[in-house]
Amino acid sequence: MSKKNTAFGEYTKVSLVLEFLRGNTHFFIISILTSMFVAGLEMISPQLIRTTVDSIIGNEPLELPAFVIRRIESIGGISFLRSHIWIIGVAITIVAGLTAVFRYLSSLYNAKGAQSLIRTMRNRLFSHIQKLPFSWHMQNQTGDIIQRCTSDVELIKNFIAEQMTRVFRIVILIVLAICFMFSMNVKLAMIAVVFVPITVSYSVYFRSRIRDSFTNCDENEGVLSTIAQENLTGVRVVRAFGRERYEKDRFEKQNQIYTNAWMKLCKILALFWGACDLFSGLQLMLMVILGAVFSVNGEMTAGEFIAFISYNTMLTHPVRALGRIISEMSKAGVSIERIRYIMNSEEEKDKENAVTPNMYGDIVFEHVTFGYGEEPVLKDINFKIPKGTTFGILGSTGSGKSTLMYLLNRLYDLPEENGRITIGGVDIADMRSEWVRSNVGMVLQEPFLFSRTIAENIGITKKDLSLSEIRKAAKIACIDDSVMSFTQEYDTIVGERGVTLSGGQKQRTAIARMLTQKTPIMVFDDSLSAVDADTDARIRQELRNHLGDATVILIAHRVTTLLQADCIMVMDKGQIAEMGSHEQLMEQNGIYRKIYDMQMTLAEEEKQDEQ
């Protein structure tokens, strides 16, 4: 199924389900066909019992298909069966055995289809989420995304596997049961059929109420998942500031809201299933009473009465199941809509004929204006970074330093009317985004480390990196000595988000990781803030000795980090305030000079305090 269902190529609910079912349909088709055989076989036993009671034990004429009557006559007729009643028992056993076999096959292939379906949904969702823009991830909470990819996916799977595949069997059961009931007694069958639209009607009535309540439950579960996810990943901060009670109260408050939402939904479901039981009980009571009256009055035989009650039971359960499917459809519809939101979110796309040029060139920002909302963060920025130089960027928090690098790395795409960024004269918007990111290495102030070994974290950028290559990068980042002091050295497992390492060790590990890429452009976004001044100086010296002709961009709050840069740019409120070498900026006696004097004074005071 193509996704081109609208002008924008978005999935509809139906097309999304069909897309997920692609490659898994044959499992469900086999399950449906075998369940249809089960439905047909279930119709046979009541007829065998009716025939036995009325025609073999009693004296009523046989009312069976002609080929069955001929077969009975060929073995001796009614008298033979009357004297060999065990044959009927064998026939019922065979029917029951065949029913069990087909029911087993139906359940087996349905289970295979369900597991294959949920695997497909998870893989498609994960793959799609990986390709969504960075801005999308900033707008959607991680806990909610996880909840959509787990609970909602599971609910959709359950609905398709347990409800949708039952529709065909239910329809066959209802149609066949009604046909057999009308063939035995029209008046009683009419009364039984009257309850079918009643059941469907109140199921439809409850459907919208169930949908709205389940939507509320699903959204609140997403909020609860987000709170739990944030607290588990930020447990050190919670403990450090003694916020356990506050976070516990916050979680319990949201948990109570979530519980109340489910209690409201349970009340609606209780009313729904209570109504189901009430009308099912009334139907069965009427069938028994009226059937007994008709039997006494001679309008039905005893065998027909027994068979009719069996068929009525077969009719009641499928009709109730149909009502359940309608109610479950409401919940599944909510989950499909939540998954549809993710699948319809537009993936990052490169321009047609996107290029992969040589990245060893000058970096130029031309009239760049950018903001995350209505208010621009960057205002008409113009500057040039010559290739192979070290370029420093200094500025206060919120001045737009990091935003410049997000744009350079194409984590955010710059609108065409907001200027352009070129490398070697080629607009990065015309390049493949993967190419840009593989050539612009970045180390952030708060690096993310995976819960793997240190070697795996450093070597994650390339396949089959040798330990010697990993250690070489680690030495440049001045982390090798620290790692070798650990008991398991490079096989040391880093805790979730690197909690087992200090802030400085995490930053240096992230620097080593970026260095293994050997990119022509390297960005250090305040990534030395957690190391001491001496280590900072050592790392910068190692970088100068080993980076060769790479272009280096240093973003920092600490002036000493930028002293050796070929050019330093000072940002203030989204604009370039000053630019030049350290000596030139000192002569200007502006923002840079004030920051330098203040930091040097603080450093002198700290030295005197230590003495």
| pLDDT digits 0-9 by tens, 191-219 | 777 777 777 777 767 766 777 787 777 77
> To the nearest whole number, what is the mean pLDDT of the chain?
79
* Nearest in space to 494 (alpha carbons), one of 445, 454, 461: 454
Backbone angles phi, psi at 414, to 5 degrees: -85, 120
Model confidence over 17-56: pLDDT tens digits? 888 888 888 888 888 888 888 877 877 777 777 777 777 7
- Is residue 153 predicted with pLDDT exceeding 70? yes
User: Apex CA 9: angle with CA 6 and CA 11, to 5°?
Assistant: 85
Model confidence over 312-358: pLDDT tens digits? 777 776 666 666 676 677 777 788 888 888 888 888 888 888 888 88
Q: What mean pLDDT do residues 585-606 have? A: 79
Query: Which letter does DSSP use for residue 297 in this model?
Result: T
Q: What mean pLDDT do residues 141-163 have? A: 80
Q: Which residue has the tokens 């995976």?
A: 450
Confidence grade of residue 528 (pLDDT, cut at 50, 70, 90):
low
Position 296 scores a pLDDT of 78
- Is residue 6 predicted with pLDDT exceeding 50? no
**3-12, 51-60, 243-252, 586-595: which range is least confident on average?**
3-12
Select, from the ranges 86-95, 228-237, 538-547, the one with the highest average predicted confidence (pLDDT).
86-95
Position 92 scores a pLDDT of 83
Q: Which amino acid is at 212?
A: D
Q: What mean pLDDT do residues 361-372 have? A: 88
Position 3 scores a pLDDT of 41
Residue 432: strand, helix, or coil = coil
User: Apex CA 357: angle with CA 509 and CA 392, to 5°?
Assistant: 45
CA distance 263 to 268: 9
* Nearest in space to 311 (alpha carbons), one of 37, 45, 6: 45
More confident residue, 500 or 145: 145
Domain boundaries, the chain: 13-343, 363-448+514-610
Quote the tokens at residue 420.
Answer: 């352009």
Q: Rounded to 10 degrees, what is the CA torsion of 278, 282, 285, 290?
A: -170
Q: What mean pLDDT do residues 433-462 have? A: 80
Q: Which residue has the tokens 């319990």?
A: 252
CA distance 33 to 29: 6
Query: Which letter does DSSP use for residue 360 in this model?
Result: -
CA distance 521 to 168: 61
Confidence grade of residue 479 (pLDDT, cut at 50, 70, 90):
confident
Q: How far is residue 263 from each of residues 90, 227, 335, measured CA to CA in Å?
A: 50, 21, 19
- Is residue 398 predicted with pLDDT exceeding 80? no
More confident residue, 565 or 446: 565
The percent of residues above 70 in pLDDT, for the chain, comes to 87
Quote the tokens at residue 577.
Answer: 């305030």
Model confidence over 67-94: pLDDT tens digits? 777 777 777 777 777 777 888 788 888 8
* Nearest in space to 344 (alpha carbons), one of 18, 1, 4: 4
Model confidence over 235-286: pLDDT tens digits? 666 666 667 777 778 888 888 888 888 888 888 878 877 777 777 778 778 7
Position 1 scores a pLDDT of 34
- Is residue 177 predicted with pLDDT exceeding 80? no
Quote the tokens at residue 397.
Answer: 């928090």
- Is residue 610 predicted with pLDDT exceeding 60? no
Confidence grade of residue 498 (pLDDT, cut at 50, 70, 90):
low
CA distance 573 to 412: 20
Burial of 4 (0-12, 13-18, 19+ CB in 10 A): exposed
DSSP for 498-513 reads GTTS-HHHHHHHHHHH
Residue 427: strand, helix, or coil = strand
CATH class name, domain 13-343:
mainly alpha
The percent of residues above 90 in pLDDT, for the chain, comes to 0
The percent of the chain in helix, strand and coil, each rounded to the nearest 5, is: 65, 10, 25
User: Apex CA 598: angle with CA 593 and CA 601, to 5°?
Assistant: 120
Confidence grade of residue 137 (pLDDT, cut at 50, 70, 90):
confident
Query: Which letter does DSSP use for residue 563 in this model?
Result: T
CATH class name, domain 363-448+514-610:
alpha beta
Position 106 scores a pLDDT of 86
